[in-house]
Structure 1
């Protein structure tokens, strides 16, 4: 809500309006149904696919920026190659910078509760019984 003071002499403002503010609500005009853009809404967020049922052991360089794949479509697992833009819009990579050089296990199933690090979620039944995602050329 925007508020505007009525311009004028301050003494006049005090006696005529008792220092009240006038309020205005600005609204965007409605478009006719024929010209309104069509938007499809999904009530569920996109789900990642499972590229691996095991974590990836990687050597990280301290101070270097990494992008961990969250969608599972990347061909450079566990890192992002941009595949989410076409295959999983709505999912974005997790960007992180390690403080020091380290050897870590990064999640391969994409369902960790401690992203990007593996927390053992891949051992749960819903991952063990799931079908692995097969990469396609498209």
Structure 2
């Protein structure tokens, strides 16, 4: 999870009982902001895939899967906050599924991989860990 501590503050709680101190120090509380997980780019080209009508598919949205363009569960440890896109095609078809993970029409390729920010990006390389 991409979590950043943005502010650490001490909380002071006023206690209404006269027998106790009027102010009690509580433990420090961290205010956290969660940054959205960003996908890595596993391919700068789409994947040509034969889809079967009625079959459930899970398209990888994080880019960490070793079974591109489909999910292998890598997001659970490498990209918490991203989940696969599950879909069921209506008919058998040959389609182009996005490989760069930045399409505006997921899971299908919309040509985003041709833009400069993708063309100049570094491809994600899998590590053994």
TM-score (norm 1): 0.72
Match of 1:120 in 2: 111
1:41 pairs with 2:27 = no
Q: Which runs of 4+ in 1 moved over 6 A?
A: none
Measure the CA separation in 1 of the matches of 2:127 and 2:101.
19
Aligned Cα root-mean-square deviation (Å): 1.4
- The residue that corresponds to 1:85 in the other structure is 76
CA distance in 2: counterparts of 1:74 and 1:126, whole angstroms = 21
Q: Unmatched 5+ residue regions in structure 2?
A: 1-25
Number of residue equivalences = 104
In the alignment, what sits opposite 2:96? 105
Q: Is 1:131 equivalent to 2:129 in the alignment?
A: no
Shift of 1:39: 7.1
| Distance (Å, rounded) in 2 between the aligned partners of 1:61 and 1:33 | 56
TM-score, normalising length from structure 2?
0.76
Higher-helix-fraction structure: 1
Q: Which one of the candidate residues 35, 56, 69 is aligned to 1:65?
A: 56
From 95, 98, 118, the counterpart of 2:86? 95
Q: Where does the alignment leave 5 or more consecutive residues of structure 1 unmatched?
A: 1-31
Show CA shifts across 1:26-70 (max 9, x none): xxxxxx537x7x67432x311000000000000000000000000
Match of 1:41, SS state, is strand
> What secondary structure sits across from 2:118 in the alignment?
helix
Higher strand share: 2
Question: Which structure has the larger Rg over C-alpha atoms?
Answer: 1
In 1, the alpha carbon distance for the partners of 2:111 and 2:44 equals: 10
